[in-house]
Amino acid sequence: MAFDAIQNYYEKLVFDEIVQHYWTHELSEDELEDIACIALNTMSPRYIRHHVDLCFFMSQEERNRMVDEVKIAVAFAYKKVFS
């Protein structure tokens, strides 16, 4: 039995946040990966098989809460890496 389809939904949100707001040529790949790991470790995982499944069953309020949680976690991780 393979579990390749199972993933933590927060990973995509964290990666998107880092690319959109923190990625620069001045940050190394290691620094970006450290930021992602620290941010993901501050949040409880949300495992899914298909993105469409989660979006269908989630309210807009819950989506907004998740996005806000990711922004806070990534900002915290960035400060942790560079403090």
Residue 29 located in a structural domain? yes
Residue 1 located in a structural domain? no
Query: pLDDT per residue over 61-81, tens digit each?
Result: 999 999 999 999 999 999 999
Structural domains in the chain (count): 1
Residue 13 located in a structural domain? yes
Alpha-carbon distance 50 to 47, whole Å?
9
Residue 25 located in a structural domain? yes
Residues in the chain, how many?
A: 83
Question: Model confidence at 3, in pLDDT bands (50, 70, 90)?
Answer: confident
Beta strands in 11-80 (DSSP E): 47-48
Per the confidence metrics, is the pTM higher than 0.85? yes
- What is the extent of the structural domain holding 66? 7-81
CA 19 remoteness from chain centre: 11
Residue 75 located in a structural domain? yes
Bridge partner residues of 82 (DSSP): none
Q: Which residue has the tokens 């620094």?
A: 31
